[in-house]
Chains A and B, each alone.
Chain A
Amino acid sequence: MTDRNIIELKNITVSFDGDTVLDDLNLSIRDGEFVTFLGASGCGKTTTLRVIAGFITPDNGDVFFDGKRINDLPPHKRNVNTIFQRYALFPHLNIYDNVAFGLKVAKVPKDEIERRVDEMLELVNMKAMKYRKVQTLSGGQQQRVAIARALVNNPRVLLLDEPLAALDYKLRKDMQNELRRIQQTTGITFIFVTHDQEEALSMSDTVVVMNEGKIQQIGSPTDIYNEPKNAFVADFIGESNIIDGVMLEDYKVKLDGREFVCLDKGFRKNEPVDVVIRPEDVDIVPAEKGELTGEVTSNTFKGDYYEMIVDVCGFKWMVQATDETKVGAKIGLIIEPDAIHVMKKSKYSGKFGDYSTFSDEMDQMEEEEEEAELESEATENE
């Protein structure tokens, strides 16, 4: 990764039929970086990608590529290639010809095309099948061909639009590693769009969390997880208990009527704040030894840990522990200073981080809804 910016978006605004999809967006991407746009469907992440690719011209603002303004440059003249959500392989061409497509259009000499396509198919492990028809391939194989077809052109930037969404869990994991490996060996800037936070955290150098057409936070995966900027980010990335608190002074925060020592500073005296505590950072002790006490209202076995909902004075906390605790038991909770993260109040305060309505079933329903939305989004874009 270098310190030079390859792509800069300045004050980008895009609206479709009066709906603002991107709202005054500013973003710089460094050359050689693996950047992920993360957000729920409709947050504007795909639109941002399409602005960079050139399929959407922003209503306002400028797109810079390597310092040059490229607002009016059509997609075929941009040194950028895309891996599309459903791969978009050409059905009338075999694997080899699909990969060779861009080079043939660019009128690269024949023997060079052959060499580069072979190299690329080697990189994605598809060399053995190079004359197969693309319709006969599995999703994972089509994915590899799509990667090869884009990368063979040596783009400066590769755009990936939810490329793993259609793959099953195991294959997705493999492809995540593979994409990371390819990015590191080629040094090409990757801009990856996903709604899967785990995917975003495990692959990227930088994560851009988006919601409602705005960037909520930009940072490294650890920053985003450990230092979320607002309740939206804290809730979207992993599980979070978000509790109303008051910052009494530097390093001292009051929540649920008790004072806690924390590592945060720089707030006004007695400023109301949001306090984030991750479920895995809460220690469980017998009730009489706890800083807070509560009653376990549900307990779900998750394989390598138990996930409990604990009612503390009416606020439902999510707590993760390796030992089982019976439902109905009174337990004590201890929160270490480094487990507490204090955030300024934002418009998302109070909307997230309470598990009183939480159930696994609802989580699943939301996911399905999201997928359905994703589908309709894809068709809308057409």
Chain B
Amino acid sequence: MNKRKGTFGTAALNTPFVVWSAIFIIVPLIFVIYYSFFDQDSGVFTLDHVKYFFGNPSVLKSFGQSVWLSVASTLISLLIAYPFAYFLSKKRPASQRVQMVLVMAPMWMNMVVRTYSWATILEKNGLLNNILESMGLGKINIIGTSGAVILGMVYNYLPYMILPIYTSMSKIGTPLLEAAEDLGCNSFQKLTRVIMPLSLSGVVSGIIMVFVPSISTFYISQAMSDRKILLIGDIIESQITGMWSTGGLNRGAAMSFVLMVIILICTFIMNKYADSDEGGMMI
């Protein structure tokens, strides 16, 4: 990366961003850390709230469930997104643009609305079951299963997996692919020896961009499981929304803090695998 001396112009352009980050990122972060370690009422330093995360079986169970559901949906997203991005990057530029717009189109709608639509389709008396019943196949229960939550996560976050992988693939460029062919690669060898290693940074970005929101989501699990599956995000949410009950805000902040540290560690490890020269750093 270029290091340039900041001129007045670049400083002026930077300022709004710096102010924005300070007010909406740094300050809230300080609050989170403060409430994690200092009691809401007495202001005394304590590790009780952090211990609550590790000492409470129901919290740990939710955390475990969050990990497995988000890992599963990240893997499924990857399995869908990678071949999609690969075939897309081989298409003609015009059709690539159209298809990328289609990938992004659902993101123009609010996530809550989209998730609710899925819930309505899949619920006990929803569209899917009506169709099944009219065909004489009987109802199936989807809402409330892990599968429904994974579906919600994959559906919502898939574009975040496709975008970075597609970008890193289209950056590879024809000359390198032709060079590989010229040196004896068939299509499969071209994929394994050139495309896969050169799109690894996109894969890492995609994994992080799907895994992080999945592990901390509370909304998708509520809509898709009818509140039967409680994720760590749901517990944090219920602690904080009930924050005037004693210590709720503290416990919510402490859980957020622990979750954040765990995510940061995961991200750091993932980035180790990506070639940092390729600009794939994502936090």
Contacts and interface: CB of A to CB of B under 8 A. Distances in A.
Contacts, number: 64
B198 A91 contact: yes
Interface string B176-191: 1011111111100100
A286 interface: no
A90 B194 contact: yes
B183 A88 contact: no
Interface string A59-96: 00000000000000011100011101110111110000
Interface in B167-218: 173-176, 178-186, 189, 193-194, 197-198
A130 to B, nearest CB: 18
Given A75-B182, A84-B175, A381-B174, 16 more contacts: A55-B181, A74-B181, A76-B181, A76-B184, A76-B185, A84-B178, A85-B175, A91-B198, A92-B275, A102-B183, A105-B189, A133-B277, A135-B277, A150-B183, A382-B174, A382-B175
Contact of A149 (B183, B189, B193): B183
Interface string B8-25: 000000000000000000
Contact of B181 (A75, A89, A91): A75
Interface residues of B, number: 21
A106 interface: yes
Contact of B182 (A76, A106, A133): A76
A151 to B, nearest CB: 12
Interface of A: 53-55, 74-76, 80-82, 84-86, 88-92, 101-102, 105-106, 133, 135, 149-150, 153, 381-382
A105 B183 CA distance: 8
27 contacts: A53-B182, A74-B186, A75-B181, A76-B181, A76-B183, A80-B182, A81-B183, A84-B178, A84-B179, A88-B175, A88-B176, A88-B179, A89-B179, A90-B180, A90-B194, A90-B198, A91-B277, A92-B198, A92-B275, A101-B180, A101-B183, A102-B183, A135-B277, A149-B183, A153-B183, A381-B174, A382-B173
Contacts of B174: 381-382
Interface string B251-280: 000000000000000000000000101100
* Best-surrounded residue of B173, B183, B186, B194 (most CB of chain A within 10 A): B183
